[in-house]
């Protein structure tokens, strides 16, 4: 824990120090000593100004990430009123449900659930005991900030803050500015190679500039990997945390299908047994709770395969959805949007699975107590 806090401070400081090093290696060594002093005055000054503009934009987008912040849940959402669904489910399984007048249990402290929502293996919504709210809007709790963050994507060590929907546009600006800066430095350095390759008797690149180019290339590879990750996020409308959860579920499923009694891999720090893999799969796999299409006030809990993506509405719509700033004033508005977030294709798939007899009736198995 202590090491993690240290890294969260060290990495952003390291990025700032490297930006300062670029001012020396590029602006002074490359542009001033090699280009400006070689007689290309306008080019030397212009390149310095261009680099300064990119660095200014980078620092501005970095600052705006903190100003915007990752966000927070606008309204605490009380537990869903699933009491009647649970009671009716027990009757439905025993064949004793009166479908003309199923029982309805009202509770003013609870809120009516949406027609369909992602849930745990028991069919219950994800509850945050610290915030005393359902984790709506694809939120995850941040122990650092002490609150739930809507569409929490990841914590960026290099930036030093949480990246979520509220500040994602500035995160993309930050990444884009860094990529443009590295590309700008690389192209301009080699464009004036005759002037730059002037260090020592063998006319080589200055060691400071050479180190800068090597580090820039390493950062460029890292950013290219990040771009691929961002593209994958837009392609399937999943967050980085979602992808991690899906990877765990796939690994547990692979372990269950393996002939070995124990298996160790990069996701697990130790060898796990088949029983541990089964429990891990149950806890890491996604589930959806949906109203039964043919039975009133009865719900079905259905496991969602790793290949099915509940929020995928197409690449363009997925990308635009990350930048829409929706305002909610009541818990009812948030609950209604929980259903709208799910793609029409996913809703259709869920109903097809239920009509095919897949899933289990909510209330057919005992519930695991949840601390509220």
DSSP category for residue 131: T
How many Cβ atoms from other residues are within 10 Å of residue 362's Cβ? Answer: 26
**C-alpha of 369 from chain center:** 28
DSSP 340-364: HHS-HHHHHHHHHHHHTT-SEETTS
Q: Are 306 and 299 in contact (CB under 8 A)?
A: no
Q: Where is 24: in which H helix or E strand?
A: none
Q: Give the pLDDT of residue 201.
A: 56
- Helix, strand or coil, per DSSP, at residue 147: strand
- Helix, strand or coil, per DSSP, at residue 180: helix
Instruction: Look up the pTM and report it.
Output: 0.89
Nearest to 289 by CA among 356, 344, 236, 338: 338
Q: Give the pLDDT of residue 258.
A: 67
Q: Are 128 and 141 in contact (CB under 8 A)?
A: yes
Q: Give the pLDDT of residue 259.
A: 59
Per-residue pLDDT of the chain (372 residues; tens, 9 = 90+): 566 777 778 899 999 999 999 999 999 988 998 888 888 899 999 999 999 999 999 999 999 999 999 999 999 999 999 999 998 898 888 888 877 766 666 777 899 999 999 999 999 999 999 999 999 999 999 988 999 999 999 999 999 999 999 999 999 999 999 999 999 999 998 888 776 666 555 566 788 888 998 999 899 999 999 999 999 999 999 999 999 999 999 988 888 876 554 544 545 556 778 888 888 888 999 999 999 999 888 999 999 999 999 999 999 999 999 999 889 999 999 999 999 999 999 999 999 999 999 999 998 876 554 443
- Tell me how far apart the alpha carbons of residues 263 and 136 are, in angstroms, rounded to a whole number: 35
Q: Give the pLDDT of residue 102.
A: 67
Distances (CA, A) of 35 to 30, 45, 214, 271, 343: 6, 9, 20, 59, 56
Sign of CA dihedral 338, 340, 344, 345: negative
- Tell me how far apart the alpha carbons of residues 365 and 367 are, in angstroms, rounded to a whole number: 6
Q: Are 70 and 149 in contact (CB under 8 A)?
A: yes
Q: Are 78 and 109 in contact (CB under 8 A)?
A: yes
DSSP 304-332: E-TT--TT---HHHHHHHTT------SHH
């Amino acid at each position: 824990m202590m090491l993690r806090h240290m890294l969260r401070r060290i990495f952003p400081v390291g990025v700032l120090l490297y930006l300062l090093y670029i001012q020396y290696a590029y602006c002074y060594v490359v542009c001033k000593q090699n280009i400006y002093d070689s007689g290309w005055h306008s080019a030397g000054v212009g390149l310095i100004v261009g680099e300064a503009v990119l660095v200014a934009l980078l620092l501005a987008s970095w600052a705006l990430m903190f100003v915007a912040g990752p966000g927070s849940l606008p309204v605490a959402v009380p537990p869903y009123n699933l009491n009647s669904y649970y009671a009716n489910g027990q009757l439905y399984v025993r064949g004793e449900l009166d479908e003309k007048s199923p029982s309805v249990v009202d509770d003013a402290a609870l809120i009516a659930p949406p027609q369909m929502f992602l849930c745990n293996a028991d069919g219950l919504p994800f509850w945050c005991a610290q915030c005393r709210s359902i984790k709506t809007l694809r939120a995850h709790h941040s122990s650092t900030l002490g609150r739930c963050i809507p569409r929490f994507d990841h914590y960026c060590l290099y930036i030093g803050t949480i990246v979520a929907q509220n500040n994602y546009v500035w995160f993309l600006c930050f990444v884009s500015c860094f990529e443009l800066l590295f590309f700008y430095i690389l192209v301009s350095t080699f464009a004036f190679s005759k002037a730059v390759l002037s260090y020592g008797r063998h006319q080589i690149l200055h060691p400071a500039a050479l180190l800068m180019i090597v580090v820039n290339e390493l950062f460029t590879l890292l950013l290219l990997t990040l771009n691929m990750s961002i593209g994958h996020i837009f392609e399937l409308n999943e967050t980085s945390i979602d992808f991690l959860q899906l990877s765990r579920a796939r690994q547990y499923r692979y372990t269950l299908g393996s002939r070995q009694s124990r298996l160790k891999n990069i996701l697990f720090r130790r060898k796990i047994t088949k029983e541990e893999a089964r429990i891990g799969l149950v806890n890491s796999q996604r589930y959806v709770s949906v109203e039964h299409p043919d039975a009133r006030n009865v719900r079905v809990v259905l496991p969602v395969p790793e290949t099915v993506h509940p929020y995928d509405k197409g690449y363009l719509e997925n990308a635009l959805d990350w930048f829409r700033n929706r305002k909610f004033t009541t818990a009812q508005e948030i609950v209604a949007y929980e259903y709208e977030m799910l793609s029409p294709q996913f809703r259709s798939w869920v109903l097809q699975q239920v009509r095919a007899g897949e899933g289990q009736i909510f209330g057919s198995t005992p519930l695991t107590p949840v601390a509220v």
